[in-house]
Amino acid sequence: MGKRKVYTEEEISKSLVTPGEGQVFGKVDGLFGFGWLSVVCTDGKRRKCRVRGKLRRKIWVKQGDIVLVEPWKFDDGRGEILFRYTGGQVDYLLSKNMLPTSMSEGA
């Protein structure tokens, strides 16, 4: 068994995906199955989101995870999960005030 790699703040910031136009942070608060999740977003809305097909077998999303959500243009109550943040990335986002502190509570 190998040692766990410790990432520096510079390495985290290089690999970090930040919200673009029309994208918001969200916290997973429920699992529906078949790749669908309930997510509370930073804009105050609860959306039914699905994991993007490209990421479906590459990332595992569980309750309490912080994710990047892109709301659907034709249905604002649904969206697509583009990225899941690790614990170190969430800490970095909190230190740079990019993520509200209310999102990290209970995680």
Query: For each successive 10 residues of the chain (107 residues), what is the average pLDDT?
Result: 65 74 94 91 93 81 93 93 88 88 71
Q: What is the pLDDT of residue 100?
A: 87
What's the confidence (pLDDT) of residue 60? 84
Let me know if residue 3 belongs to a domain: no
Amino acid letter, residue 85: Y
> For residue 37, is it within any domain?
yes
Give me the half-sphere count of Cα atoms (radius 13 Å) on the Cβ side of residue 97: 0
Q: How far apart are CA 21 and CA 92, in angstroms?
A: 21
pLDDT at 37: 93
Cβ atoms of 69 and 61 within 8 Å: the answer is no
Reported pTM: 0.83
Q: Report how many helices (DSSP H) and strands (DSSP E) the chain contains, helices first.
A: 3, 5
CATH number assigned to the domain comprising residue 49: 2.40.50.140
State the residue range of the domain holding 78.
Answer: 20-101
